Amino acid sequence: MALAIDLTGRLTLVTGGTSQLGRVMVRTLADCGADLAIHYHQNKSGAQKLCAEVEERGRRALAVQADVGELKSVMGMRDAIQEALGDPDIVVTNAVSQITWHTVLEEDPKNYEGQFRTCVLQNVHLAKAFIPAMIRRRVGRFIGINTECTMQLKPTQSAYASAKRGMDGVLRVLAREVGEHQITVNQVAPGWTISDRDREQGTQRNEGYEATVPLKRRGTDQEIANVVAFLASGLASFISGAYLPVCGGNVMPTV
């Protein structure tokens, strides 16, 4: 008997919903039946366009702005979502600020602070805003988008990887703290993923990177979104505290 991912009636918040990976997550979750709150920081038109796509699929949608590094802004986003759609059953923390990577000696300290705000504090703020309602209902899914870089720790990755490692610590502790309320907390860790930008620019292939991956290819945005949908569903009801690489085996957590 085949099992389908059915998120009908589930309200999902995706932060960074207009990003390269975020937009595919939004579409995929809507295809699984979820209603969507689509967070954006600056790309209002992109969020509104995604709302139209979700509504064309027969789902409810709301574009909502916030600075995820600021608790007051996140609480305002929570209030806007509650008023328009209700309390989210699923939260996907996907937003992250983009920086150019440098060595530790050359990296601007402000970039460490910025990455900390959008990786660590985002998850703290989103948890404070949305998990209390999950606790009252005794159900919920909290999914953080991490990265294979957290395990790679290659030169020039320090600002990004250190922030994502901090995020990992927060979410593992959170999984232990809220598990008794039947709330799962998990992380998806993409590798270097093919997105629409690559398809438009013809940059899908990178032989040097592919040679390091056991599956000998880069993953796709859809493959990342599929795992997010799985963890959001009832099929993953007994998975919590996981850091799940989706990178073709390029990094492998050990025991």
Catalytic residue among 40, 160, 209, 243: 160
| Lateral strand order in the sheet of 61-65 | 61-65, 35-40, 11-14, 90-93, 140-145, 183-190, 243-246
Strand partners, 11: 35
Distances, alpha carbon 139 to alpha carbons 68, 128, 135, 194, in Å = 23, 16, 7, 33
Active site residue 160: yes
Rounded distance between C-alpha atoms, residue 245 and residue 220, angstroms: 13
Total Cβ atoms within 10 A of residue 17: 30
Strand partners, 12: 36, 90
Element (H, E) at 64: strand 61-65
Left if phi > 0, otherwise alpha if psi is -120 to 50, otherwise beta: which for 89? alpha
- Interior angle at CA 235, CA 231 and CA 239, nearest 5: 55
Indicate which residues carry an active-site annotation: 160
